[in-house]
Amino acid sequence: MESVYAYLPKIRPHLPTLVASFSSFTLLQFVLVPLFGSLFFGDTWRKMSPRAKNNWAVHICSQAHAIVIIPLAWRVLDLPELNDDRAFGWHEASGSVQAVAAGYFMWDSLDAIVHFDNIGFVLHGLTCGAIYILSFTPYLSYYAARFLMWELSTLFLNVHWALDKTNRTGGSLQLINGVLLLVTFFAVRLVAGGYWSYQFYETLFQSLDRAPFAAILAPGIGNLILQGLNWFWFTKMIAALQKRFAGGSKKEKQLNGTAINGNGKHKED
């Protein structure tokens, strides 16, 4: 364990938060969601396939993380200690937020591997988890809260999925939510995310002589993967929404809905 602290010297006081985060999402997935489903949805829940039950649990965990992490990240966006040194600056308040995110993405990665559906889901979870763990070196904490603001679009993504699964596909509520999903996804992941990524790589370049090559290479490649996934998911969302609201049977609209992807958490069941 001491070797971990040697490589990640800032993680020690935040390990309880990281473990609590991972444990909380695991508890929510395997205990609380099944219990809630059995108590309030009875036969409907019991008749679901194991995969369908897990997908409901995963989306609820994803929504819970987004609801929790967005205000936490917002509160540490403008810490002067991080702004003064965007490469190596550190603040314990940001460390707490990073620990919550790291715990969630560790859980997310494990679920994506165990319930494998798409390599993009696995890459997303592993990349985010690795970046937030590496931030405890400390390195690039300034960008941690900024990239967590991407989760704003996840709020609408999970609502969109839930509307599909509760037979509200193609309705006015889903149309409004779909527009909000596209707007927020474009604004926070592509526009703001693109701007922050430019600053991110600028910081990486400026720290070439102060950081190990591996510490620069890993987040550099990771951000490239995440931005690539964002653009891929955005084009898929546009295509799916166009098909859904352009007409066709209800069944066809539901099938089109399975193509909507973002943050790696939109599956068919």
Which tens digit of pLDDT belongs to each residue from 21-78?
999 999 999 999 999 999 999 999 999 999 999 999 999 999 999 999 999 999 999 9
In a domain, 269, yes or no: no
In a domain, 267, yes or no: no
Q: Is the dihedral of CA 229, 235, 238, 239 positive or negative?
A: negative
pLDDT at 258 over 80: no
**C-beta separation of 137 from 215 below 8 A:** yes
Q: Taking all residues of the chain, what is their mean pLDDT, rounded to a whole number?
A: 90
Separation between Cα atoms, residue 135 and residue 90, nearest integer Å: 9
Contacts of residue 54, defined as CB under 8 A and 6 or more positions apart, other chains included, come to: 29, 111, 115
Tell me the pLDDT band of 169, cut-offs 50, 70 and 90: confident
CA separation (Å) from 121 to 2, 125, 151? 32, 6, 15
In a domain, 263, yes or no: no
In a domain, 229, yes or no: yes
Q: Which two tokens stand for residue 39?
A: 């108590």
Q: Which two tokens stand for residue 47?
A: 């008749």
> What is the phi/psi pair of residue 73, to 5°?
-65, -40
In a domain, 264, yes or no: no
pLDDT at 1 over 70: no
Q: Which two tokens stand for residue 88?
A: 């190596």
In a domain, 265, yes or no: no
How many domains is the chain built from? 1
Neighbours of 208 (CB within 10 A): 10
Quote the domain boundaries for residue 228: 2-257
Portion of the chain with pLDDT greater than 70, in percent: 90
With b for 16 or more beta-carbon neighbours within 10 A and e for fewer, the 238-254 pattern comes to eebbebbeeeeeeeebb
In a domain, 262, yes or no: no
3 state SS of 114: helix
The string of DSSP codes covering 27-64 is HIIIIIHHHHHHHHHHHHHHTS-HHHHHHHHHHHHHHH
The string of DSSP codes covering 144-181 is HHHHHGGGHHHHHHHHHHHHHHTT-TTSHHHHHHHHHH
**C-alpha Rg value of the chain to the nearest Å:** 19
pTM comes to 0.91
